[in-house]
Amino acid sequence: MAAPTGLNNINLLQSEMHQSRASGDFMATGVADASFQSQITGLLNTGISSDQLELTNHVGRAYYKKLNEFSLTPTYTDEQDAGFRPLTYTGLYNI
């Protein structure tokens, strides 16, 4: 069976982030590790605009909200709105 692509991956990633109770799952410790940060940047690299909107409006918000819940201070600086929606994703690439 082929791995899910596009929106399927985005929905799966968002579901996994919502269920995670481990703060270590979120921030990357190295390039292409299994962290949610690395998984998000991998999906962003598709270049499909609908994926980018889904990532910004749903996955990005869930990701930054979880960082806040775990009191994690990222080593990168993506601007966010008041609802944790990222305005940029450039910081996610600074691992």
User: Which pLDDT score, from 0 to 100, does residue 94 have?
Assistant: 65
Average model confidence (pLDDT) across the chain:
81
Q: Is residue 38 part of a domain?
A: yes
How many domains in the chain?
Answer: 1
* C-alpha dist (Å) from residue 88 to 43, 60, 76: 15, 10, 11
pTM over 0.85: no
Is residue 19 domain-resident?
Answer: no
Residues 59, 15: Cα–Cα separation, whole Å: 9
Examine the pLDDT at 77 and tell me if it is beyond 80: no
> Would you say residue 88 lies in a domain?
yes
| Amino acid 6: pLDDT | 54
Rounded to the nearest 10 degrees, how much is the dihedral formed by the CA atoms of 44, 11, 58, 7?
Answer: 50
Q: Tell me if 18 is assigned to some domain.
A: no
42 lies in which domain range? Answer: 7-12+26-93
- Cα torsion 9, 10, 16, 17: sign: positive
5 CA to centre of own chain: 16
